[in-house]
């Protein structure tokens, strides 16, 4: 091979790490393409799984709008992971300085973007918070769908968030008032804002009149999700910090290995 033991270690660590990501990215990409090209078979599959395994999430993800949007997300995420890990795996396995350098540079760019985004969010905290609130408000105003048979990814995201965190809307149930007025509905808020019974992932209100006449007893209609999630993050700040530090460490370690191996290969080529 022509490279030392330390660099052999770097090579095989990079191969193993990127091969795992390569398989994961390929699987995500394949599922995304499957969803995009053959929705009927996926709907049939989710119905079988939902009935056999009693997993309520599958009935929500069997709607055409959800499948289409989910497929694009999976294709984009899978293609990105697939491409980056392919560069790292092939670069290390083939001992290609060009591929390793390109792989390392891409990771550095990703790391810089992450650090820049975090730094700007801290430096311009008030502005970042205001823009975040505007964005989340827009997702409700422009994309939330009251009809359960026409749900999309954004609607499901909000419903699961509200059910899991026991909250309603960005600030309160009033965030949904215009949506239900447009539908001439007697409801004033989603069922996910109510006190739920049984498996909360089915969004079944414990009190039938909750969506029409919400109160503190039958719902969380005045508890906004923004503050609820923010408080949750602050309560689990140690976990969040360790996850962030762990992610940064893995990225830095991978960049270090790729450039060390690249440098070692350069020295080996010079000695030929």
- Domain that residue 173 falls in: 128-225
Task: Kindly state whether residue 167 falls inside one of the protein's structural domains.
Answer: yes
Task: Kindly state whether residue 43 falls inside one of the protein's structural domains.
Answer: no
Residue 36: pLDDT band (50, 70, 90) is: confident
Provide the pLDDT for residue 210: 94
> According to the per-residue pLDDT averaged within each range, which of 4-8, 51-55, 201-205 is highest?
201-205
**Number of independent structural domains in the chain:** 1
Provide the pLDDT for residue 3: 60
d(CA 71, CA 151): 15
Tell me the C-alpha to C-alpha distance, in Å, between residue 8 and each of 2, 91, 192, 233.
Answer: 9, 13, 54, 41
pTM for this one? 0.75
Share of the chain above pLDDT 70, in %: 87
Residue 262 has pLDDT above 90, yes or no: no
Q: How far is CA 148 from the centre of its chain?
A: 22
Task: Kindly state whether residue 92 falls inside one of the protein's structural domains.
Answer: no
Average pLDDT of span 111-138 = 88
Q: What is the pLDDT of residues 163-219, one digit of tens each?
A: 999 999 999 999 998 888 887 788 999 999 999 998 888 889 999 899 999 999 999
Task: Kindly state whether residue 173 falls inside one of the protein's structural domains.
Answer: yes
Provide the pLDDT for residue 62: 61
Task: Kindly state whether residue 93 falls inside one of the protein's structural domains.
Answer: no
d(CA 189, CA 212): 7
Q: Give one DSSP letter per residue of 84-140, joined into a string.
A: HHHHHHHHHHTT-HHHHHHHHHHHHHHHHHHHHHHHHHHHTHHHHHHHHHHHHHHII
Residue 24: pLDDT band (50, 70, 90) is: very high
Residue 154 has pLDDT above 90, yes or no: no
Instruction: Tell me if residue 205 falls in helix, strand or coil.
Output: strand
Provide the pLDDT for residue 261: 87
Length of the chain: 272
Residue 246 neighbours by CB distance under 10 Å = 10
Rounded to 5 degrees, φ, ψ at 219 are: -160, 180
Tell me the C-alpha to C-alpha distance, in Å, between residue 96 and each of 15, 23, 155, 268.
Answer: 12, 21, 46, 12
Residue 1 has pLDDT above 50, yes or no: no
Task: Kindly state whether residue 10 falls inside one of the protein's structural domains.
Answer: no
Residue 108 has pLDDT above 80, yes or no: yes
Residue 123 has pLDDT above 50, yes or no: yes
Task: Kindly state whether residue 216 falls inside one of the protein's structural domains.
Answer: yes
How high is the mean pLDDT of the chain? 86
Q: What is the pLDDT of residues 61-81, one digit of tens each?
A: 666 677 788 889 999 999 999
Q: How far is CA 26 from the centre of its chain?
A: 17
Q: Which range (9-23, 87-101, 116-130) has the least confidence?
A: 116-130
Task: Kindly state whether residue 263 falls inside one of the protein's structural domains.
Answer: no
Residue 219 and residue 193 in contact, taking contact as beta carbons nearer than 8 Å: yes
Which residue would you say has higher pLDDT here, 66 or 238? 238
């Amino acid at each position: 091979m022509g490279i030392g033991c330390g660099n052999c270690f770097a090579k095989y660590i990079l191969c193993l790490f990127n091969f795992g990501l390569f398989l994961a990215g390929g699987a995500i990409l394949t599922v995304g393409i499957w969803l995009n090209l053959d929705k009927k078979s996926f709907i049939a599959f989710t119905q079988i799984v939902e009935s056999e395994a009693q997993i309520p999430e599958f009935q929500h993800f069997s709607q055409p709008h959800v499948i289409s949007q989910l497929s694009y997300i999976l294709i984009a995420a899978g293609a990105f992971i697939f491409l980056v890990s392919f560069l790292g795996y092939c670069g290390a396995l083939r001992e290609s300085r060009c591929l390793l350098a390109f792989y390392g540079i891409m990771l550095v760019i990703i790391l810089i973007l992450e650090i820049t985004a975090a730094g700007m969010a801290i430096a311009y905290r008030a502005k970042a918070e205001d823009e975040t609130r505007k964005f989340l408000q827009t997702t409700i105003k422009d994309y939330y769908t009251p009809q359960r048979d026409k749900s999309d990814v954004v609607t499901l995201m909000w419903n699961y968030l509200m059910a899991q965190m026991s909250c309603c809307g960005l600030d309160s149930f009033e965030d949904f008032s215009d949506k239900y007025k447009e539908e001439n509905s007697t409801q004033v808020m989603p069922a996910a804002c109510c006190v739920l019974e049984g498996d909360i992932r089915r969004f079944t209100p414990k009190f039938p009149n909750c969506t029409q006449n919400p109160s503190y007893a039958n719902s969380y209609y005045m508890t906004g999700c923004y503050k609820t999630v923010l408080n949750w993050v602050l309560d689990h700040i140690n976990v969040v910090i360790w996850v962030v530090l762990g992610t940064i460490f893995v990225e830095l370690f991978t960049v270090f290995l790729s450039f060390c191996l690249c440098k070692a290969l350069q020295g080996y080529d010079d000695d030929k």
